Amino acid sequence: MFVATASVDCRGAAAGAGRRLPRKRDYPGRVILGIDTSLGTAVAVVEDDGLVRAEASSDNPLGHAEVIGDLLQRVLADAALGPIGATLAPGAVAVTYVASGMGPGPFTGLRVGIAAARAFALGRGVPVIPVPSHDAVALGILLDEAMTDAASTRFAVVTDARRKEFAFTVYEGLDDDGLPVRVTEPALVPRDDLDGVLEALGAHRRDAASVSASMLALAAARALAAGRELATSEPLYLRAPDVTLPAGPKRVTA
């Protein structure tokens, strides 16, 4: 199922609600294209102040390669309409950075989004900003809590790693740069051991079925503003791929 959203800001309000949007022929400052395929497939175009220009996603945990191109095309076309529907010139969405979700995630699905992010960035001549996918989920949780005045406690973002395993990362609040504070790095744990591990870490469980590309892009924007790197360029597979290169030529016998 595909989901396309209207322009919203990072607080979830409609882009035009309560304020008048300025006319502009292009986007000043940073415009970030977020791409993540660690769970489903998600794409968004976000300004550095958190304003979401366009977003689309597919919840299907498979078929990333089949939908990523259509989602990119749709989001870029929607973003090119501008803040009040004034269509810009073709290709005028001035993307200045690409935020790439680095996982954790399955090998096959995760590499589709990373490859798409790198290919787009190469074609546009813009940098790629690697972001742990769990950071995007944690940022969304913490911003939602801030809106409801909920007390922020230590929690674990948990995603299904398949094969009776879960990937998790523990967080506790936002730092001075508005980014989630990572208590642990992403790790893999057997399904039956997860609750015991989280109890020992003092973290309550927050299962995630999707990753928001807009939150991914917002995390990248905040990291850029603070001059920080959230991840390396290495994907967080957490598990080796099933297919490996052969150790040598097969032995042939008569």
Please provide the distance, in angstroms rounded to a whole number, between the alpha carbons at the two ends of the chain: 54
pLDDT of residue 22: 33
**pLDDT at residue 55 greater than cutoff 80:** yes
pLDDT of residue 151: 66
Looking at 80-230, list the stretches that DSSP marks H as alpha helix, in order from N- to C-terminal side: 107-124, 133-148, 194-201, 213-226
Ordered by where they begin, the domains of the chain are: 2-6+29-226 (3.30.420.40)
In this structure, what DSSP letter does residue 191 have?
G
59 touches 65 (CB < 8 A):
no
pLDDT of residue 248: 61
**pLDDT at residue 249 greater than cutoff 60:** yes
Q: What is the C-alpha separation between 232 and 188, in angstroms, rounded?
A: 19
pLDDT of residue 144: 93
**pLDDT at residue 118 greater than cutoff 80:** yes
Q: Give the lowest-confidence range in 16-30, 179-193, 233-247.
A: 16-30
Work out the burial of residue 185: count CB atoms within 10 Å of its CB; fewer than 13 is exposed, 13-18 middle, 19 or more buried.
exposed
The pTM assigned to this predicted structure is 0.81
